[in-house]
Amino acid sequence: MAKLIVTMIDGSVHNIEITPRLEYWFELYAKKGFHKAFRDDEKQSDVYALSHEGLRLSGVTVKPFGPDFLDTLKSVEVAESDPLV
């Protein structure tokens, strides 16, 4: 699958794997299939929402999703997961 590389403005970097749980959450949030949402809509806000939930699920304390959370981000990259990990 894929992962998100989330860099915060404080310099910390988080690798968020797209797990089945995170994919399921996204489908409820977006009200459509995971692949269809990214293929058809291509909205960066969906990537930010996915990174927010992924950070939260991994135990990182995050602000509620919205402008205050977005202000804590430096970048979010979509990358391929390492198949050997």
pLDDT in tens, 58-68: 999 999 999 99
**84 pLDDT tier (thresholds 50, 70, 90):** low
User: Is residue 33 scored above 70 in pLDDT?
Assistant: yes
- Please, which residues have CB within 8 angstroms of residue 4's CB and are 6 or more apart in sequence? 14, 15, 16, 18, 47, 50, 51, 54, 76, 77, 78, 79
Contact between 73 and 8 under an 8 Å Cβ cutoff? The reply is yes
With a pLDDT cut of 90, the percent of the chain lying above it is 64
Task: Residue 45: name the closest of 22, 73, 17 by CA.
Answer: 73
Q: What's the whole-number average pLDDT of the chain?
A: 89
